[in-house]
């Protein structure tokens, strides 16, 4: 910030006051954050162990570990990604490459993505229950939970992928045409690889959001805490396990803290990875220009 | 370019693996889905575990949600068997009920609460908001935190029936769902009062949770008194189906009512029906 | 793919058209999802919309679905109070955080604080609810029973929407052109004078958009509020009264709702969805003024 000359004493005091208020707000936020982290660590550190990560829960979750729950969470995520990635990325490619920016269809697709992005997760849960569980007769299963999550992931994937593709300089596309490449060739060999860090970052953000999701899974993938035998079995996601342990299980606080630590650590890794990818991509862009 | 090819093959491999996982699902073991009362669920969970040990290749899924959910899901064939912690009502006579145990409902307080007994009228007044402080019933000077069950729970209905109250007359401070949530809430707040299944409460007391059960109308709330038939708020724990049970459903219900599982029933602090 | 052919030129026309059609199908399915959601919500709530007049949602005696009364007002007021309270707390803290990162902090502190905020944004709502249940509720209980109350809900919600406001404000403040700031400095304005007089007004559209996004998130939040707010259907008489929000109501009662009750829950889901659609429409309209 540039050196600013102070003309009036009153302005000087006002500035100092506002600075104090802002510093106070920042310290408040920092303290609360540290409080939450310390609480989580204090409560769950002792309960964490390698066994905890691999055993199945026993005695309503008070004993044993979260092995089967991690497997269920992974399966739900996989189903969601397999369903959402093709749809999301093809929508993004269409919006970025094939449809003019201001066209009617482009704007309506973008608007519907924007609306989807804001819909509360419990409404997705209602929809998932009515459509996947009851109408398509999938019942309480990993499949219906994963498909509901896929609907939630679409907006994130579409917006990040479209942004990534739009950020590829036009010179690439013009050079490809000059070389006589078809649009598909230009897309697969040139544009997608260049935009891939942003695509990957969007993917990771989507995974992060899906892993933290609870309300949408309450009525679609059920509560059963055992190791799922197939995609049509009910499975409990990690976030749901934390919810059940904290609300319904007296004496379930310690495993809940430990599970919360695992979940937060997982999300942390995903977010850091996503940030590294985007930063690496930005750096590459700057150095290559 | 090479990286693209490798990534492509990895994706195909992953896809194949996930489709491969789907296949066994259709050739899957037989499956039973039970939903309903949170009172019955722990017992049925234990029964299911033993049943699966005896009959391999069977998978039984148990989920809570309240007795109304049990009735709802059984009617809509979302669940194979419903769990209900009361007798069936007149309008539910199209369903088939099979009693597997007996249980009671008890008022619970925090273990540190000095109050040792409450009369029926005192309980009515506490729940309808006329008595708001523990010192009015002989306890310490603190506001009473009233814990009530959510609608759709048969524990709530039986409790209201007993007190001759309607749900709209109750002034709760916290609303809870499952029995275990009620126990956890009362154990976490020294000035609260709630009501849960005797089986669930005695089970948790046995595990060291800081609650105590109050006698009702002068009779101690214990599984012995439920067995003797003298406890005022007793109820049957039922498994319900929407048609005459056949096959796996019939096997499981017979197993649940047989003498082989009496030890499981007693371990959850319920009364086994054969004993009567 | 390259290894399938001897050169990189595909059968030009056909591959491109094929790709275009595949992409169109994918995009249409994605766009359909929103319509599918609206359709199913409408279909499931139709029984109640057909038979009962919407006025009943406001004039019935109370919310006791098993007794047939469906007054949504206490639940709506609970949602409103919780969201507004959370916004009142989170807006100053969020904007202050953004101002700190952009104008006041040394570069290393700014980096770490921004990372902290992004981390806060990444913590799942269940973990916030869990922490609230085990730490905040007993604390509030000592102040004034029962502990699980509107105040707990407001605090937890504020923590959750704070990062949204802070990060959007941060992005918008960074986009304020440097010339504005230099010109203000040249005119002799003090630091706060520049911020209040030049930077904040220039960034106000973006900050308002961020606030509206945060409001949408606060209204739709389910789990954290479910765990800490007490879930009693009543108009909150004070900050320490327990309340129930619309989203938490759906989560609580959905499992056992039958017939009309279930349809009413879907109606409240529709209400939530329309609220959020209106809010995101406003954000889009505000943002539309900026995009080329």
Asked whether residue C190 carries a pLDDT value surpassing 60, the answer given is yes
* Lowest mean per-residue pLDDT among A54-58, B227-231, C155-159: A54-58
pLDDT digits (tens, 9 = 90+) for C53-78: 777 777 777 788 777 788 888 898 99
Query: pLDDT band for position C169 (50/70/90)?
Result: very high
CA distances from C6 to B3, C9, C10, C179, C205 (A): 19, 9, 10, 55, 54
Single out the residue of A285, A250, A270 nearest to residue A73, CA to CA. Answer: A270
Question: Which 3-state string (H, E, C) describes B164-212?
Answer: CCCHHHCCCCEEECCHHHHHHHHHHCCCEEEEEEHHHHHHHHHCCCCEE
Contact at CB, C255 and B66, closer than 8 angstroms: yes
Query: pLDDT band for position C126 (50/70/90)?
Result: very high
Contact at CB, C147 and B189, closer than 8 angstroms: yes
Which of the pair, B4 or C155, is modelled with greater confidence?
C155
DSSP annotation of B83 reads: E
Question: Exposure pattern of B79-110 as b/e (b: 16+ CB <10 Å)?
Answer: bbbbbbbbebeeeeeebbbbebbbbbbbbbbb
Single out the residue of B50, B89, B92 nearest to residue B235, CA to CA. Answer: B89
Residue with tokens 């260049």: A194
pLDDT digits (tens, 9 = 90+) for A129-187: 888 888 887 878 899 999 999 999 999 899 889 888 888 888 999 998 898 888 888 88
Which of the pair, C85 or B68, is modelled with greater confidence?
C85
Pick the residue from chain A with its C-alpha nearest to C265: A126
Task: Supply the pLDDT for residue B29.
Answer: 60
pLDDT digits (tens, 9 = 90+) for A95-119: 888 888 778 888 888 888 888 888 8
pLDDT digits (tens, 9 = 90+) for A89-98: 999 999 888 8
What are the start-end ranges of the E strands in A3-62?
57-58
Contact at CB, B209 and A250, closer than 8 angstroms: yes
Residue with tokens 């279909």: C43
Q: How close A74 gets to chain C, by Cα (Å)?
A: 17
Which of the pair, A222 or C109, is modelled with greater confidence?
C109
DSSP-derived 3-state class of residue B215: coil
Task: Supply the pLDDT for residue A289.
Answer: 46
Closest residue to A182, CB basis, from C15, C122, C124 = C15
Contact at CB, C122 and A121, closer than 8 angstroms: no
Task: Supply the pLDDT for residue B20.
Answer: 53
Query: pLDDT band for position A28 (50/70/90)?
Result: very high
Chains that touch C (3 or more CB pairs under 8 A): A, B
Single out the residue of C231, C153, C145 nearest to residue B182, CA to CA. Answer: C231
Closest residue to A232, CB basis, from B25, B38, B42 = B25
Alpha helices in A94-130 (DSSP H): 104-118, 121-128
The rounded distance, in Å, linking the Cα atoms of A62 and B209 is 13
Task: Supply the pLDDT for residue C9.
Answer: 55
Maximum CA extent, chain B: 83
What are the start-end ranges of the E strands in chain B?
30-36, 58-64, 81-84, 96-110, 145-149, 174-176, 192-197, 211-213, 234-241, 271-272
The percent of residues above 70 in pLDDT, for chain A, comes to: 94
pLDDT digits (tens, 9 = 90+) for A277-288: 877 766 666 555
Single out the residue of B70, B169, B186 nearest to residue B127, CA to CA. Answer: B169
The rounded distance, in Å, linking the Cα atoms of A50 and B249 is 39
Q: ipTM of this predicted complex?
A: 0.86
Task: Supply the pLDDT for residue C13.
Answer: 61
The rounded distance, in Å, linking the Cα atoms of A194 and A175 is 14
Closest residue to A182, CB basis, from C9, C134, C254 = C9
Contact at CB, B4 and A234, closer than 8 angstroms: no
Single out the residue of B203, B215, B267, B17 nearest to residue B109, CA to CA. Answer: B215
Write down the mean pLDDT value for chain C.
85
Once rounded to an integer, what is the mean pLDDT over residues A268-281? 81
Contact at CB, A78 and B18, closer than 8 angstroms: yes
Asked whether residue C290 carries a pLDDT value surpassing 80, the answer given is no
Residue with tokens 């590459």: A284
Task: Supply the pLDDT for residue B24.
Answer: 44
Is C106 exposed, middle or buried, given 0-12, 13-18 or 19+ CB atoms closer than 10 A? exposed
Single out the residue of B217, B226, B174 nearest to residue B39, CA to CA. Answer: B226
Pick the residue from chain A with its C-alpha nearest to B23: A230
Once rounded to an integer, what is the mean pLDDT over residues C168-184? 90
* Lowest mean per-residue pLDDT among A55-59, B2-6, B230-234, C264-268: B2-6
* Lowest mean per-residue pLDDT among A190-199, B17-26, C107-116, C201-210: B17-26
Residues 6+ away with beta carbon under 8 Å from A65: A49, A51, A52, A53, A54, A55, A56, A57
Chains that touch B (3 or more CB pairs under 8 A): A, C
Asked whether residue C166 carries a pLDDT value surpassing 90, the answer given is yes
Asked whether residue C259 carries a pLDDT value surpassing 80, the answer given is no
Asked whether residue C230 carries a pLDDT value surpassing 70, the answer given is yes
Task: Supply the pLDDT for residue B8.
Answer: 63
Once rounded to an integer, what is the mean pLDDT over residues A8-29? 89
DSSP annotation of B87 reads: P
B178 in contact with A, Cβ within 8 Å: yes
Single out the residue of C157, C11, C28, C46 nearest to residue C94, CA to CA. Answer: C157
For chain B, residues with pLDDT lower than 70 are 1-29, 274-276
Query: pLDDT band for position A7 (50/70/90)?
Result: low
Asked whether residue C6 carries a pLDDT value surpassing 50, the answer given is no
Once rounded to an integer, what is the mean pLDDT over residues C212-216? 89
The rounded distance, in Å, linking the Cα atoms of B178 and B171 is 19
B68 in contact with C, Cβ within 8 Å: yes
Task: Supply the pLDDT for residue B181.
Answer: 86
């Amino acid at each position: 910030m540039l050196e600013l000359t102070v003309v009036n004493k009153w302005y000087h005091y006002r500035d100092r006051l506002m600075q104090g208020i802002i510093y106070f707000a920042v310290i408040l936020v920092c303290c609360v954050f540290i409080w939450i982290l310390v609480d989580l660590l204090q409560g769950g550190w002792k309960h964490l162990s390698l066994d905890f990560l691999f055993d199945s829960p026993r005695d309503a979750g008070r004993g044993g570990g979260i092995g089967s729950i991690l497997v269920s969470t992974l399966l739900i995520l996989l189903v969601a990604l397999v369903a959402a990635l093709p749809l999301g990325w093809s929508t993004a490619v269409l919006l970025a490459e094939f449809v003019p920016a201001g066209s009617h269809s482009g704007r309506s697709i973008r608007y519907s993505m924007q609306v989807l992005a804001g819909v509360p997760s419990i409404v997705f849960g209602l929809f998932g229950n009515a459509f996947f569980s009851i109408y398509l007769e999938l019942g309480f299963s990993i499949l219906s939970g994963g498909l509901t999550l896929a609907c939630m992931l679409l907006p994130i994937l579409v917006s990040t992928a479209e942004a990534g593709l739009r950020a590829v300089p036009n010179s690439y596309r013009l050079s490809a045409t000059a070389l006589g490449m078809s649009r598909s060739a230009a897309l697969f060999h040139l544009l997608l690889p260049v935009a891939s860090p942003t695509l990957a970052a969007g993917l990771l953000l989507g995974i992060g959001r899906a892993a933290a999701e609870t309300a949408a899974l309450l009525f679609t993938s059920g509560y059963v805490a055992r190791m799922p035998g197939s995609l049509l079995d009910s499975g409990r996601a990690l976030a749901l396990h934390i919810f059940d342990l904290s609300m319904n299980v007296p004496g379930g606080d310690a495993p809940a803290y430990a599970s919360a630590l695992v979940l937060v650590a997982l999300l942390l890794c995903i977010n850091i990875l996503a940030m590294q990818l985007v930063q690496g991509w930005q750096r590459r862009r700057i150095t290559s220009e | 370019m090479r990286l693209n090819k490798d990534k492509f093959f990895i994706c195909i491999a992953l896809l194949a693996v996930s489709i491969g996982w789907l296949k066994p699902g259709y050739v899957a073991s037989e499956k039973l889905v039970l939903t309903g009362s949170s009172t019955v669920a722990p017992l049925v969970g234990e029964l299911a575990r033993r049943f699966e040990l005896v009959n391999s290749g069977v998978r039984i899924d148990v989920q809570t949600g309240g007795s109304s959910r049990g009735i709802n899901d059984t009617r809509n064939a979302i669940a194979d068997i419903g769990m209900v912690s009361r007798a069936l009502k007149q309008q539910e006579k199209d369903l088939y009920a099979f009693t597997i145990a007996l249980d009671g409902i008890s008022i619970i307080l925090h273990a540190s609460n000095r109050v040792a007994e409450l009369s029926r009228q005192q309980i009515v007044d506490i729940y309808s908001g006329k008595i708001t402080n523990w010192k009015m019933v002989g306890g310490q000077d603190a506001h009473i935190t009233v814990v009530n069950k959510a609608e759709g729970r048969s524990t709530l209905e039986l409790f209201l029936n007993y007190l001759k109250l309607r749900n709209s007359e109750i002034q709760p401070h916290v609303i809870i769902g499952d029995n275990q949530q009620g126990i956890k809430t009362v154990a976490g707040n020294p000035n609260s009062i709630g009501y849960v299944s005797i089986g669930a409460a005695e089970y948790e007391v046995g595990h060291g949770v800081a609650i105590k059960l109050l006698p009702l109308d002068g009779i101690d709330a214990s599984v012995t008194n439920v067995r003797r038939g003298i406890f005022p708020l007793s109820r049957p724990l039922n498994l319900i189906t929407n048609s005459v049970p056949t096959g796996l459903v019939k096997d499981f219900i017979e197993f649940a009512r047989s003498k082989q599982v009496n030890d499981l029933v007693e371990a959850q602090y319920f009364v086994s029906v054969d004993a009567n | 793919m390259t290894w399938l052919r001897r050169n990189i030129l595909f059968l030009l026309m056909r591959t491109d058209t094929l790709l275009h059609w595949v992409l169109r199908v994918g995009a249409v399915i994605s766009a359909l999802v929103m319509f599918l959601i609206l359709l199913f919500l409408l279909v499931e709530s139709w029984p109640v919309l057909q038979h009962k007049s919407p006025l009943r949602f406001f004039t019935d005696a109370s919310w006791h679905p098993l007794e047939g009364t469906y007054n949504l007002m206490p639940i709506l007021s609970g949602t409103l109070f919780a969201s507004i309270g959370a916004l009142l707390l989170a807006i100053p803290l969020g904007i202050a955080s953004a101002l700190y990162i952009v104008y006041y902090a040394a570069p290393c502190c700014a980096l770490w604080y921004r990372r902290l905020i992004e981390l806060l944004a990444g913590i799942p709502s269940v973990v916030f609810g869990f922490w609230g249940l085990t730490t905040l509720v007993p604390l509030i209980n000592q102040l004034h029973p029962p502990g699980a109350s509107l105040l707990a809900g407001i605090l937890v919600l504020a923590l959750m929407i704070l990062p949204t406001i802070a990060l959007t404000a941060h992005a918008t403040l960074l986009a304020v052109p440097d010339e504005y700031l230099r010109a203000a400095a040249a005119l002799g304005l003090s630091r706060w004078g520049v911020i209040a007089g030049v930077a904040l007004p220039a960034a106000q559209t973006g900050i308002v958009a961020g606030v509206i996004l945060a409001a949408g998130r606060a209204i739709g939040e389910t789990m954290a509020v479910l765990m800490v707010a007490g879930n009693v259907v009543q108009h909150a008489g004070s900050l320490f009264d327990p309340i129930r929000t619309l989203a938490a109501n759906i989560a609580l009662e959905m499992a056992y709702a039958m017939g009309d009750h279930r349809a009413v829950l879907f109606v409240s889901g529709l209400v939530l969805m329309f609220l959020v659609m209106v809010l995101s429409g406003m954000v889009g309209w505000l943002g539309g003024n900026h995009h080329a």
